[in-house]
Structure 1
Amino acid sequence: MTADNDIYYINLIIEGNSNAFSVLVDRYKDLVFSLALKMVKNREEAEEVAQDTFIKVFKSLSQFKGDSKFSTWIYKVAYNTSLDRLKKHKREQSVVSIDEFNSNQIRSMDNALDAMEDDERSKAIQDCIKLLPSDDAFLLTLFYFEEQSLEEIAKIVGLTANNVKVKLFRSRKKLTAILKERLEPEIIEYYEKN
């Protein structure tokens, strides 16, 4: 329903009703902002990226072919705008060593996280995702929180679905390292109490 609804508003905008764009902005502003924030890791810059994203979307709306969902297209614009912002400021991203982790350790960390309450776990994960490099945070957010498919993410970031799968695995390894470092004392304390 939303995809058809998006097309309706896109057609109105292309026909000259620029006020209809506010419906699309309202629908996607929170998602675009949260994705930008994951990438640039600064609230003010994320607001600028979101604004730039919507300006680009408005100017190039007639180029939207409908080959993918409008949400996928707008995510791609947000992603590329965020990358442009990062390149402009040439920020150094922190790198987490992942050499020591394997699939079993990632699974055991996932099992330990299951012991935490859902809200606590979600907040803890979100806080740790903020510590990841921008690309990793963006991919994990799209896949786990925005529930985008591998194919949709591939269209957004301009990679194959297999490459996205590999990058997601590596991003999870980095996230696991951060979670292990930050949460292990809390988890040990939790098990000692129970």
Structure 2
Amino acid sequence: MNHQSDQYYIDKVLDGQVNMFSVLVERYQSLVYTVVYRMLKNKEQAEEVAQDTFVKAYKALDRYRGDAKFSTWLYTIAYRKSLDALKVNKRFVSSSDIKEIGEENIELVEDALSCLQAKERKQIILDSIMKLPEDEAAIITLYYFEEKSVKEIVEIVNLTADNVKIKLYRSRKKLYSILHISRNEW
């Protein structure tokens, strides 16, 4: 695996070695897809928006100033592309969807959380995140899974730091509620 900095590849692309952009795509494709999928909740649409994200990033690469990490800049594009897709589809998740929790793939056990293996526990959390509204799912994903700071999330989602913190707090409460309901259904 090549451990050159993102800026190294950006400079190469801007100098005419366009094939070097593929390294950046490989480096971030799964992370971009994850953020987009958590918002759109549709595999095919997430793949398309993730691809559009990289196309837009490539076309706008000469405007990347380096003020933020390349990954933050890229996640910002992915987040905004996802919002655009949601607007086009006029797809909104209602709060009633949050109550529809079911974990058909998990065996019923007396104390499920203490018995589940780490992989199963992670899947339950990921499935529960999918029950959150799109913006909250994205913020939770960026903070916990992509380990982005509140400052970086502010740059990506274009909210104030206080709004991001409030959304994180509310999302954690909702996630706890979803997980608690799921556990009781086992």
TM-score (norm 1): 0.82
Distance 1:40 1:97, change over 3 A: closer
Which residue of 1 is the match for residue 172 of structure 2? 172
> Partners in 2 of 1:175 and 1:136 — Cα distance?
10
Structure with the higher fraction of residues in helix conformation: 1
Which residue of 2 is the match for residue 134 of structure 1? 134
> Partners in 2 of 1:136 and 1:114 — Cα distance?
27
The alpha-carbon deviation at position 162 of structure 1 amounts to: 1.8
Please tell me whether the aligned partners of residues 128 and 178 of structure 2 are also in contact (alpha carbons under 8 angstroms): yes
Q: Deviations over 1:33-83 (max 9, x none)?
A: 111100110000001100110010000001111111100110000000000
Report the AA paired with residue 15 of structure 1.
Answer: D
Which residue of 1 is the match for residue 81 of structure 2? 81
> Partners in 2 of 1:113 and 1:171 — Cα distance?
20
Which residue of 2 is the match for residue 65 of structure 1? 65
> Partners in 2 of 1:155 and 1:116 — Cα distance?
36
> Partners in 2 of 1:36 and 1:5 — Cα distance?
24
Backbone CA RMSD of aligned residues = 2.1
The alpha-carbon deviation at position 17 of structure 1 amounts to: 1.1
* 1:4-153 aligned within 5 A: 5-95=5-95, 116-153=116-153
> Partners in 2 of 1:137 and 1:17 — Cα distance?
36
TM-score (norm 2): 0.86
The alpha-carbon deviation at position 115 of structure 1 amounts to: 6.7
Report the AA paired with residue 50 of structure 2.
Answer: A
Percent identity among equivalent residues?
A: 51
Q: Which runs of 4+ in 1 moved over 4 A?
A: 112-116
Structure 2: gaps (5+ residues)? 99-111
